[in-house]
């Protein structure tokens, strides 16, 4: 029996025990909360964001606290070459991945005619093309592992929001991407996670807002991700919308 064969068998055995999750926009907010939640469940992690210093701190904390392996690197999903490089390094490090959480996103708000071309293009690059690039980069690996792709959109991915039309348009489009990816790739499970207002720094706001103002906490969104990933492999949840009980129900 060759050494290479034994090495390959050991790798396969290790893969059966180790689950690897990729998370974009992982340096704070929902992405950071998901990273912490999955580390608690024993996932090895590949974290990407533009704030590498924050990623380094998170990686150290999770490795020491949960004993999981954490790879991190710079990632700007608005740049094709950045996504490709991050995916290349991640796959070289872990071999394959089981979960991809496309979480990176941004928003500019105001009347449609007040948005600048630059603002609209930036939202399209991150919220739409960033999702497409991320899933595309890891799709073959997810097919090999029978994995899961979770795309974090918003509760406005299927409704309208005055003074948020540009942001809403990108989330509707991202919703269409998720469904098309699912139809074309039935061997991978695609989940659209649709949180309502969340207490983060999103849109330039400050974190620490009272729950009574209608905001979920990032940790509550992360718990939903843990729930989705604990389901049997023959269960596909195509979308999950969650909002604070203090947020007005709008559809």
Of residues 242 and 211, more confidence is placed in 242
**CA atoms lying within 13 Å on the CB side of residue 207:** 11
Inform me whether the pLDDT recorded for 224 exceeds 70.
Answer: yes
Quote the CA–CA distance of 139 and 126 in Å, as a whole number: 18
Beta bridge partners of 241: 194
For residue 251, give Cα distances in angstroms to 171, 196, 227.
15, 11, 24
Quote the CA–CA distance of 218 and 28 in Å, as a whole number: 9
Q: Which residues contact 207 (CB under 8 A, 6 or more apart)?
A: 29, 199, 200, 201
Determine contact, residues 15/44, Cβ cutoff 8 Å: no
Determine contact, residues 211/217, Cβ cutoff 8 Å: yes
What pLDDT was estimated at residue 207? 84
Average pLDDT across the chain, whole number: 93
Which H or E element spans position 150? strand 148-152
Kindly report, residue by residue over 26-44, the tens digit of the pLDDT.
999 999 999 999 999 999 9
Kindly report, residue by residue over 75-125, the tens digit of the pLDDT.
999 999 999 999 999 999 999 999 999 999 999 999 999 999 999 999 999
Which H or E element spans position 34? helix 29-40
Tokens for 64, please give them: 């020491």
| Dihedral-angle region of residue 208 (phi above 0 means left; psi in -120 to 50 means alpha; beta otherwise) | left
Beta bridge partners of 189: 148
Determine contact, residues 177/151, Cβ cutoff 8 Å: yes
Q: Phi/psi of residue 8, each to 5°?
A: -65, -40
DSSP 71-140: EEEE--TTSHHHHHHHHHHHHHHHS--SEEEE-------S-GGGS-HHHHHHHIIIIIIHHHHHHHHHHH
Tokens for 120, please give them: 């609209």
Determine contact, residues 246/216, Cβ cutoff 8 Å: no
Inform me whether the pLDDT recorded for 240 exceeds 90.
Answer: yes
Residue with tokens 């942001």: 167
Quote the CA–CA distance of 77 and 38 in Å, as a whole number: 22
What pLDDT was estimated at residue 17? 62
Inform me whether the pLDDT recorded for 6 exceeds 70.
Answer: no
For the entire predicted model, the pTM comes to 0.92
Catalytic residues: 167
Domains in the chain (CATH in brackets) are 14-242 (3.40.50.720)
């Amino acid at each position: 029996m060759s050494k290479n064969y034994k090495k390959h068998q050991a790798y396969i055995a290790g893969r059966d025990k180790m689950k690897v999750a990729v998370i974009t926009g992982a340096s704070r907010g929902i992405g950071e909360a998901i990273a912490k939640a999955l580390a608690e469940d024993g996932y090895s992690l590949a974290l990407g964001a533009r704030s590498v210093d924050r990623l380094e701190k998170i990686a150290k904390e999770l490795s020491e606290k949960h004993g999981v392996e954490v790879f991190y690197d710079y990632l700007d999903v608005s740049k094709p070459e950045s996504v490709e490089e991050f995916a290349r390094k991640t796959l070289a490090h872990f071999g394959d991945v089981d979960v991809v959480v496309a979480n990176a996103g941004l928003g500019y708000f105001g009347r449609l005619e007040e948005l600048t071309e630059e603002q609209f293009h930036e939202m399209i690059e991150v919220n739409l093309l960033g999702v497409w690039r991320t899933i595309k980069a890891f799709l073959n690996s997810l097919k090999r592992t029978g994995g899961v792709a979770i795309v974090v959109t918003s509760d406005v991915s299927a409704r309208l929001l005055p003074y948020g039309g540009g942001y809403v348009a990108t989330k509707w489009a991202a919703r269409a991407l998720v469904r098309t990816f699912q139809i074309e790739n039935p061997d991978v499970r695609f989940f659209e996670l649709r949180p309502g207002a969340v207490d983060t720094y999103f849109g330039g706001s400050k974190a620490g807002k009272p729950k009574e103002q209608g905001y979920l906490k990032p940790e509550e969104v992360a718990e939903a991700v843990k729930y989705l990933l604990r389901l049997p492999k023959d269960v596909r949840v195509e979308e999950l919308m969650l909002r604070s009980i203090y947020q007005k129900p709008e559809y």
